[in-house]
Amino acid sequence: MNPRSRRPGAVRISAPSFPTSPHPSIYRKIAYTFLGLTVVIVIAVLWLTSVKAEVLIKTTRQTVSLDGTVEVAKTPAQGQIPGRVVQGTFEKIQEFFVATSTQATSDTAVNTPVETTQLPDNQVRARGKVRIINEYSKTQPLVRTTRLLTPDNKLYRIDKSISVPPGGEVEVEAYADQTGYDLAIGPSKFTIPGLYEPLQQYIYAISDAPFTVQPISQTEVASTDTVAPQPVGEKVKQSDLDSAEKTLMDVVLARAKTDLATEAGNPENMETVYVVKVVDQKTNATVGQVTESFLSSLKLEVTAVYYSKEDMRALVRSKLRERVPEGNEFLPTEASSASYSLESADLDNEVASIRIKADGSYHLSPNNALLQPSVFAGKSKDEVVTLLHSVDGVESIDIVLHPSWLRNIPSFKDKIKVTVE
C-alpha cells in the first residue's frame, strides 16, 4: 500500500512526549549508600573515641651530693648569710669519788708498846703537821691522801679531807708516802702536784716543825679524828677517769654554750656550730691507785658560730637543686640529711666559713622531653618499652592499650596518657 499522500504545505504533528519516572531501585541504592556512610562514620567515631594508651613509668630515686662551704658574717655581703662568731675559754676543777669506794674508819684506840731498840726503816713512818695555804680567790677542797711534794721530790700525803677558804689556811696532819727515817724532814714548803698547774703557786703547804718518825703500828692506829696513813678506798679504774672526763666536758661545755649565747645576744631561731678545743686536762689519780676520791680539771676553748636556720636550709636546697641533671625533678630533702662543720673563723671581723655536706634526691621529671606522648605516638608497644629502658632513671614500664588487641600506640598524642611516678 502506498503511503498516504501529504498535501502540499501541510505540517506533521506528532504525539507529545513526557519524561519517564525513575525506577524504584535507584532510591533504594541511594538510601543504602547514605546508611552505609552513616554506619562507617559512627564506627570511625566510636573507634577514635575508644582507642587510647596508658603508659605508667616508675622511676628510681637518685642521689645528688653537696660538699662545699658557705660564709657566715655578722654583716653579710653578697653570697654570705647573717650570723655571729664568738669565742671563749672556760675551765673547771672538780672532785670525783671512786665508784663503790668505802671509807675505812676505826673507833677503837689500841696502845702498842714501843720497842726500846731502833726499828728497821720499813717499820717506821714520818709524820708531822702542815698548814695548807690558799691565796686563790675560790675555796679549794682537798681530799684525804692528797699529795704534798718537797723541793727535793719527797712525797707526803695529808691525813684527812679538808676545805681551805680563799685567803685562809687549814692545819692538817701529814705522813710520808714511804717508810724510813730519812723522810723525817725539817720545816719545809710543799707543792700540791694534783692541782691544776697554775694554781700551785697560789695553793701550797708549809710545815713549821720537823716531821718525826713513829712505828707503823702506832701510826696506823686511828683516834676519833685520825685515820690510818695507809691509802684506803677503791682502786681507780679507767671508767672512773672516763666518767670524770665526760662529766667535766658536759659541765664546762654547757656553761660555754650559755655564756657564748649571751655574748651573741641570745639569738633565736638560729642553728649553732661549735668547735671545742681542749686546752688543758689533768687529774691527780692514775689507774690502779687506791683512793676514795680524786681531782680532775678541764680547760676548753670554745668557738660558736650562730647562723640563720632558714637561710642555711634554703641555700642547701638551692645548691643541691643546681646539681640535678636536666630533665630531672629535685625532691624535697630533710634538714637532718645535712651536716655542718666549722672550717675557719675570723673572730675580729666575725666571719666564719662553714663546710656543708648534704645529700638530696631526684627522679625523672614528667616534663622530660623523652617522656612526652608525642615520642610514643604510632610506635609499637615493644618499641616504646625499648626506648624507655634506655632512659636513665626508669625503673619499670607498664603499657595498657585500649582495645587490648591493639599492638601499636595511637598516632594521636592526645590519646596517650603518660604517668610518671
**Residue-wise pLDDT tens digits, 175-224:** 999 988 889 999 999 999 988 787 898 899 999 999 998 888 544 544 33
User: 55 forms bridges with which residues in the sheet?
Assistant: 399, 418
pLDDT at 234: 84
pLDDT at 276: 94
Query: In this structure, are residues 364 and 329 in contact, taking their beta carbons and an 8 Å threshold?
Result: yes
Q: What is the pLDDT of residues 6-24, one digit of tens each?
A: 566 666 666 565 565 566 6
Query: In this structure, are residues 331 and 361 in contact, taking their beta carbons and an 8 Å threshold?
Result: yes
pLDDT at 285: 87
CB count in 10 Å sphere of residue 36: 10
pTM: 0.52
- Contacts of residue 252, defined as CB under 8 A and 6 or more positions apart, other chains included, come to 90, 91, 92, 298, 300
For the chain, give the longest Cα–Cα distance. Answer: 207
Identity of the highest mean pLDDT range in 94-98, 119-123, 195-199 = 94-98
Pick the CATH number of 121-232 from 2.40.30, 2.60.120, 1.20.120, 2.40.350: 2.40.30
Query: In this structure, are residues 311 and 82 in contact, taking their beta carbons and an 8 Å threshold?
Result: yes
Q: What is the DSSP string of 260-294?
A: HHHHTT--SSEEEEEEEEEEEEEES--TT-EESEE
Delimit the domains of the chain by residue range: 50-61+365-420, 121-232
Of the candidates 297, 65, 85, 97, the one whose C-alpha atom is nearest the C-alpha of residue 197 is: 297
CA-CA distance, 140 to 154, in Å (whole number)? 23
Query: In this structure, are residues 254 and 245 in contact, taking their beta carbons and an 8 Å threshold?
Result: no
Query: Dihedral through CA 97, CA 297, CA 231, CA 205, nearest 10?
Result: -130
Query: Dihedral through CA 247, CA 248, CA 251, CA 254, nearest 10?
Result: -110
CA-CA distance, 360 to 63, in Å (whole number)? 6
CA-CA distance, 44 to 90, in Å (whole number)? 87
CA-CA distance, 218 to 14, in Å (whole number)? 179
Count Cβ neighbours within 10 Å for each residue of 122-132 and write b for 16 or more, e otherwise: ebbbbbbebeb
Q: What is the pLDDT of residues 328-381, one digit of tens each?
A: 999 877 655 788 888 999 999 999 999 999 999 999 999 999 899 999 998 998
For the segment 268-285, the average pLDDT, to the nearest whole number, is: 90
Q: What is the pLDDT of residues 147-182, one digit of tens each?
A: 999 999 999 999 999 999 998 999 999 999 998 888
